[in-house]
Amino acid sequence: MTLRKIVASVAFIFLLAPLGLIGHRSAQAAEIPQEVTFVLHKRVFLNPNSILDSQINSGLELTPENVTEANDALIDDTQTFGINGINFDVYDASAYLAGELAQKTIEEVMQAILETDSDTLRETLTAENLVTTITTTQDPQTGENGMVTLTLDLSEVAEQNPAILFLEKLPNNSVIRQESAPMLVVLPVEDPMNEGQFLDTIHLYPKNVLRGRLPQTGGEEKPKPSPTPTPGGRLPQTGEAKSIMGIVGILIVGSVIIYWQRRRTSKQVIRTKK
């Protein structure tokens, strides 16, 4: 990739419509990373009634020092949690973007992506452009849930406006209400803290909302307590207990009837002897 071929450095990271980072700056005379690492932090809001407002994502990792009021919930464990087992299909969208830019502005392209569902985008980009599929898990070093890291060699991507598209793919019966919006990153991404420098590590925060209220356990329902066994045997299940109680009841009633019949017969015998 040469600096002549880079007309502008534009970074669009769309997390939830119309959420995104929009930057359009001329590429500076700085080294452009040939290898970029993407770090996804999959966050889900605990409150199913949460309203996700538009906010800007810088590409930097959110910390208590740089977090803003708009996105502080993304690092607040009382409001959001990281969820494991969520897949993201990663596409090389460079050719797709180049074709769209022939007739649209970059802003129009981004808006069109936001208005297009993930399945349609998959059909448009085709399987040939699929780079890999990644899955969120627990970070072995920090213990944070909902993380996945992907490093790409940009020499294998288009030289002009290389673009990477992340499409979330939810498992069946997911606790998440709906997929997060597509995340398209057009490289290189300028470091917002250092003008003229470019990020070689880009942090993304795809987010969405739970279907219903669940405990803060990474989306898994709280396990039901196991019944405590009775001494000398196991505790019967609910249906089994009802059956046993029914049988015991029948035996008691039958015993009472037999007792009274015997007592009545005994009285008759005594009267006869008299």
Model confidence at 234: pLDDT above 80: no
Q: How confident is the model at residue 206 (pLDDT cuts 50, 70, 90)?
A: very high
What is the spatial distance between Cα 38 and Cα 200, in angstroms, rounded to a whole number?
Answer: 8
Domain 35-210: homologous superfamily in CATH: Immunoglobulins (2.60.40.10)
What is the spatial distance between Cα 169 and Cα 111, in angstroms, rounded to a whole number?
Answer: 21
Comparing CA positions, the residue from 147, 30, 39, 136 lying closest to residue 88 is 136
Model confidence at 179: pLDDT above 90: no
What is the spatial distance between Cα 6 and Cα 115, in angstroms, rounded to a whole number?
Answer: 28
pLDDT of residue 261: 60
Q: How confident is the model at residue 239 (pLDDT cuts 50, 70, 90)?
A: very low
Sign of CA dihedral 200, 56, 62, 118: negative
Q: How confident is the model at residue 114 (pLDDT cuts 50, 70, 90)?
A: confident
Portion of the chain with pLDDT greater than 70, in percent = 63
Find all residues with CB under 8 Å of 198, minimum gap 6, and list them.
9, 30, 31, 32, 33, 188, 189, 190, 191
Q: Strand 80-82 relative to strand 43-45: parallel, antiparallel, unpaired?
A: antiparallel
Instruction: For residue range 131-165, list pLDDT tens digits in order.
Output: 999 999 999 999 999 999 999 998 877 777 799 99
Task: Encode burial over 217-236: b for 16+ CB neighbours within 10 A, e otherwise.
Answer: ebbeeeeeeeeeeeeeeeee
pLDDT of residue 241: 43
Predicted TM-score of the model (pTM): 0.68
Q: Do residues 218 and 81 lie in contact, with contact meaning Cβ atoms separated by under 8 Å?
A: yes
Q: Strand 130-135 relative to strand 43-45: parallel, antiparallel, unpaired?
A: unpaired
The pair of three-digit structure tokens given for residue 30, joined into one six-digit string: 């700085």
